[in-house]
Chain A
Amino acid sequence: KQEVTQIPAALSVPEGENLVLNCSFTDSAIYNLQWFRQDPGKGLTSLLLIQSSQREQTSGRLNASLDKSSGRSTLYIAASQPGDSATYLCAVTGSGGSYIPTFGRGTSLIVHP
């Protein structure tokens, strides 16, 4: 059974710092990996999706990498801003026809001015 772990569980940084959020998964036979953002009391917003054949994806100040063999993904946020404060979740979708995504518990990020 796929298990997804996110470290750290919580992070507080001053504005302007570059930071890295980590996601690890136990079964490397994945179809894709997706990073989401969740604001308090809201739904999830997709940030980046990496297919299993890809190594990274970029969107603005965000860069996500994927290393399937080691079962790891990182989300890099450059020049963090208070508006980046949210919970970040990663989700892994299995291969072999299974479309069931497994979510990590998330990293709660606070960027203070």
Chain B
Amino acid sequence: DAGVIQSPRHEVTEMGQEVTLRCKPISGHDYLFWYRQTMMRGLELLIYFNNNVPIDDSGMPEDRFSAKMPNASFSTLKIQPSEPRDSAVYFCASSSTRGAPRETQYFGPGTRLLVL
């Protein structure tokens, strides 16, 4: 398996622009997580899905952030409009409650976002 795939790997945009981050989880995994990592705040969970359904989005900073999972193999995290304080590394991770090892989280390589 190719692991969790994220695109783009790097994104530089100007304040006010829309940003869309993409994630393909490991095939067969039923949980998908979006995280944000900054030096100031460390690693924060933004939202997670179970079987394509959003379960908890309490970590989403504000209405400018939205996430979707239209099917089991694809998820997006959108920021509209983007602001400089959104600059961070955004990780997607997936896990499975079936098979072994159960519930181990597998992370993608991340998207480094810089908002100017």
Quick check: A32 and B103 within 8 Å, CB to CB? yes
B105 and A101 within 8 A (CB): yes
Q: How would residues 39 to 63 of chain A score, 1 for a CB under 8 Å from any chain B CB and 0 otherwise?
A: 0001111100100000000000000
Closest to A93 in B: B103
Complex: chain B residue closest to A98, CB-CB:
B56
Q: A89-B43, A99-B55 are in contact. Are A43 and B110 (CB under 8 A)?
A: yes
How many residues belonging to B are interface residues under a CB distance threshold of 8 Å? Answer: 23
Determine whether the beta carbon of A42 is less than 8 Å from that of B109.
yes
Cβ contact within 8 Å between B103 and A100: no
Q: Is the CB of B50 within 8 A of A46?
A: no
**C-beta contact mask, A87-113 vs B, less than 8 Å → 1, else 0?**
001010100001111111110000000
B34 on the interface (CB 8 Å rule)? no
Q: Per a CB cutoff under 8 Å, which of A49, A99, A100 touches B104?
A: A49
> How far, in angstroms, from A100 to B50 measured CA to CA in the complex?
12
Question: Mostly helix, strand, loop or mixed at chain A's interface?
Answer: strand
Asked whether B61 is an interface residue with its Cβ less than 8 Å from the other chain, the reply is: no
In the complex, A4 Cα to B55 Cα: how many Å? 22
B45, CB-defined interface residue at 8 Å: yes
Residue in B43, B56, B107 whose CB lies within 8 Å of A100 = B56
* CB-based contact A101/B42 at 8 Å: no
Chain A positions near chain B (C-beta within 8 angstroms): 32, 34, 36, 42-46, 49, 89, 91, 93, 98-106
Beyond contacts A46-B106, A98-B56: 13 other A-B pairs, Cβ-Cβ < 8 A, are A34-B105, A36-B105, A43-B91, A44-B91, A44-B93, A44-B107, A45-B107, A46-B105, A49-B101, A49-B103, A99-B48, A99-B55, A99-B56
